[in-house]
Structure 1
Amino acid sequence: MADIYIYPNTIRAVKVTGAQVREWLERSAGIYNQIDPAKGGEQELVNAKFPAFNFDVIAGVQYKIDPTQPSRYDNDGKLVDANARRIKDLTYNGKAVTDDQVFIVATNNYRAGGGGNFPGNDGSTIVLEAPDLTRDAIMRFIIERKEVAPKADGSWSLVTPTGNVTMTFLTGPNAAAYQPAGIKIEKIGDAPEGFVKYRIVG
Structure 2
Amino acid sequence: MENTLKHVVWALQDEQRNIRGIVAVKVEYDRVKMKSLSGPDMAAELLFPVLSAALPDGWLAEAEKLHQSRRNLWLVRTRTGMSGCRDYSLYSLKDENYLDQPRVASLHVSMYGKLNERLRMWLGDLPPILAAVLQDFPPATEGVSLQVYEPELQEGYQEPGADSGLQAILDSLKAMEVISS
- Bin for the TM-score computed over the shorter chain: under 0.3
Which has a greater percent of helix? Answer: 2
Normalising by structure 1, report the TM-score: 0.20
Which has a greater percent of strand? Answer: 2
More relative contact order, 1 or 2 (CA 8 Å, 6+ apart):
1
